[in-house]
Structure formats: C-alpha cells, structure tokens
Structure 1
Amino acid sequence: MRNVLNTLRVLEEVAARQPIGVGELARVLEMPKSSVQRALVTLDTAGWIRPAAGEVTRWVLTTKALAVGSRAGGDLGLRGAALPIMEDLRRHTEETVHLTVPEGGKMVLIERLETDKPVRTAMALGHALPFHASANGKAVLAYSDPELVGQLLGNEMPRYTDTTITDPAELRAELTVVRDRGFAVNRGEWRSDVGAVAAAVLDGNGQPIASLSVNIPIGRLTAESEPFFGAAVHAAAATLGARLG
C-alpha cells in the first residue's frame, strides 16, 4: 500500500511541477531517490509519464492523464456551464482565469483559460491549492460551514511566503472581509510572484461548490486593479451559481 501511495504522490508532483527530475522530486516529497526512481519507472511503464526532451532526464505527463481526467463526471456539468462565463471573464479582465473545486481539504484546479499577455501565471490542471494561502480557498472558506473552518484553523497552517496568513484569528478576520466585499485576494501568499482575486460559486442553499479566480503576476495586482478584478470575478461567480440553479 505504501508503494502505491508513494507512486501516486510522485504522479501528482510531476503534474504540478513538470518537467521535473528525480532529484527535485526527492527533495520536494522528502523521499529517498531510490523510492522516487521506482515510482517513476512504474508510471513510465504504465504510460502516465514520459521523459521530456533534453540531456538530463526530466519527466512530464502523457495524454493518458488528460484522457482519464476528462472522464471525471462529477465536474463535467460545472465545467460546461463555467466555460462561457470564464471566457467572458478572461475577455473582460485580459488575465488568466481559473475554476477550482474543494476536494480533499484543498482547492483543485479543474479548468483554466490563459491570458494572451506574455507574462502570465502557469498552473497545471489537477494542481491543488491550500485553503488558507489561496484566493480560491479563502473565497470558499468564507462561506463554508463553521465546523470545517474550525477544523482548518485547529491544525497548523504552513507558511509558504512572508505574506501567508498562519494565525487563526487573523484568518477569521480575513474571511469576514471576504464575505463583506464578495471576493478574496491572494497577495503572494502561496507563491510570492503570483497574485489572485477569487469569488465563491454558491449553490441554491448558499453553500460553496467552486470558485472562479483571476490569476496574475503580483506586479499587476495593485490597489487600483484589485477592486476591478474583484467586481468582475464576483459577478462571474454569481452568474455561474445562478446558471447551475
């Protein structure tokens, strides 16, 4: 069982950081190189990954992962409804737009539309974001059951950058602000060079089922642009929620 779990961890990390080599994987996952290498061989043999071009062996996903992911039926209706709204949001903001859903205690990226600007953020589909250090996560937490929020705040929250919120009282205050204004902001709290503005997609009972976000290099997230992105993403999320019924 441990070998299977380790192999899946390696697959997830390749998806998040591709192209990536065995040494970096071992450091990130805190696993012995020999264990990582066995997992890579298994995934390569099964057709999930392949070597990237170059003299040093680094690994990337194959299209098999995309084929399997496209059959994840639970999110297909959401994605189908979201895509035209995401396209309108991208056109309006001229920035990269993400659709994420809460899963396994994190926010998982299930769809993205990229900006045409040469300097942009990049994230692979299937990548998981921490609740407390992402705009997507904070947008969902702001409308989540108090029990779920209490569980998160009761555990240690990792610090990713100098701006990551790790104090429970500070995060609770932040979530109150998110509810009041209708959108959450990530000012380099997960990656110091990446900013985002997100709003929760609510179902008919007011429960968060997803979040839409505008994702930008931190230099383009300013005091002037933040309200513009916030209003745009809030309106888009409300439209998607209404469309889903």
Structure 2
Amino acid sequence: MQNVVTALRVLEEVSARQPVGVGELARELGLPKSTVQRSLRTLHDAGWIRPAGGEVTRWQVTSKLLQVARRTELGLRDAAVPVMEELRQQTGETVHLMVPEGEAVVLIERLETDKPLRIVLPLGIRLPLHASANGKAVLAHLDRPLDELPAYTGTTIVDGEALRAELAAVRARGYADNRGEWRSDIAAVASAILGADGSPVASISISTPASRMPDDLRAAYGALVTRAARTLTGSLG
C-alpha cells in the first residue's frame, strides 16, 4: 500500500513540476532517490509518464492522465449543470463552475445572465487562488504557503496573515466573496465542492458586475451558493 501512495505522490509532483528530474522530485518529496526512481519506472511502465524531450533524466505526464481528468470533469459537469441552472433562475446572474489547477482555478462551465450588462469570462480562463471568490473558496480547504502574493487591484489581499484570517472566515460562513480583488468591475460569491476526503474538487459561484452586488445581496447569494455546493458535495461523494 505504501508503494502505491508513494507512486501517487510522485505522479502529483511530476504533474506540478514537469519536466522534472529525479533529484528535484526527491528533494521536494523528502524521499531517497532510489525510492523515487522505482516509482518513476512503475509510472512509466503503466503509461502515466514519459521522458521529456526524449531525455530519460526528466519526466512529464502523458495524455493518459489528461484523459482520466477529462472523464472526471465531464462527470462533474453533468452533476453540476442542473444545480447551476437552479442558481441562475434564483438570482438571474451568471453562474460559474471552476476546478483547481496548481495555483489557480480554471473555468470549465458557465451559465450566463440574460441581463444586458454582463462580464463574460472565457472557458478555460485561469483565476488566482488568492484573488478570486472561486479561488479563495478552494484555498480555504488547502494547506498552501501564503507569501509573495501578487496584487491585481487595490483590494487584493496580499498579506499572508490577513489572507489566513479571510480564509478562516470563508470556512466559518461556507462561502468566499470577491470584492473587486482580481478585476475591480467584478463581484462574486463562491463555495467549494468537496470530495470524499474533504479536499476541494471544484467551486461554484455567482458572478455579477460589481454594481449589482450590494452587501445584502452578497449575503443572500452566499447562502444560495453554499447550499448549492453542499448539494453537489453530497451527490459526488
């Protein structure tokens, strides 16, 4: 069992740092090079990784990992779209579904508002974990260093202690909000969708132009998006 866990840890690190060599992997994982090398051979034999640029000293993931991720993503979409549609009907606003990827969340589904004033984000766009509602909803359930955070607007939280306090508040109330922290013209509330192990697999949000989310609506929308995320957490778990 331990060998399987080690191989999965190595696979995660290869995915995050590719192309990467055995020495760097061993340092990051705190494992002997020989242990990492055995896991790399196993993953290569199983088709999960391949030499980067033909160099057997550096590795990257194969399309097999992407295929598995795509099937998972499609299952998530199938479950999420009816819940997203209900949110859109309740609020009349745009609803987003995003998944964590490295230091960002990625938009994989969007149901748009019918209102003429709208902000359209393209599918596939990446938003920073610390400066977006979807990102903070996810980040509240992750153990990540909170230093050297870039500012995107004047309201971006870049102080680590301040962000830790914000994430504690997110966990307490069930949803994160964005007060123009990534783009000053966007407001949003979001809640994390959790897997069986309690880790965030996605986040769902209500997004509006900043002018359409006063504080009273922010709290009401936060309650709605929290309930939606809990519904999806239950259905996926």
State the TM-score, normalizing by the size of structure 1: 0.68
CA distance in 2, matches of 1:121, 1:84: 22
Deviations 1:74-119, CA, capped at 9 Å, x for gaps: 3000011100000001111110000000012210000000011111
Could you tell me which residue of structure 2 aligns to residue 179 of structure 1?
A: 171
Q: What RMSD in Å do the two structures reach over aligned CA positions?
A: 1.6
2:199 aligned with 1:202: no
* Residue in 2 that maps onto 1:44: none
Q: Specify the SS of the correspondent of 2:130.
A: coil
SS class of match (1:83):
helix
- Counting matched residue pairs gives 171
Q: CA deviation at 1:158?
A: 1.0
Q: 1:135–1:186: 8 Å Cα contact kept in structure 2?
A: yes
2:122 to 124, 139, 144: 124
Which of the residues 107, 111, 114 maps onto 1:113? 111
Percent of aligned positions that are identical = 56
Structure 2 equivalent of residue 22 of structure 1? none
Q: Report matched runs for 1:67-146 at 5 Å.
A: 72-144=70-142, 146=143
Query: Where has structure 1 moved over 2 Å in runs of 4 or more?
Result: 71-74
The whole-number CA distance in structure 2 between the counterparts of 1:203 and 1:105 is 19
Q: Extract unaligned runs of 5+ from structure 2.
A: 1-66
Retained in 2: the 8 A contact 1:99–1:212?
yes
String of CA shifts for 1:29-63, please: whole Å, max 9, x gaps: xxxxxxxxxxxxxxxxxxxxxxxxxxxxxxxxxxx
1:121 is paired with a residue whose SS is: coil
Residue 215, structure 1, aligned to residue 211, structure 2: no
Alignment correspondent of 1:36:
none
Unaligned 5+ segments in structure 1 are 1-68
Q: 2:158 aligns with which of 150, 155, 166?
A: 166
Tell me, in whole angstroms, the C-alpha distance in 1 between the residues paired with 2:234 and 2:207.
Answer: 23
SS in 2 for 1:214: strand
Letter in 2 for 1:238: R
Highest CA radius of gyration, 1 or 2? 2
Code of the residue aligned with 1:103 in structure 2: it is E
**Counterpart amino acid of 2:124?**
G
2:226 to 210, 234, 239: 234
How far 1:72 moved relative to its partner?
A: 3.0
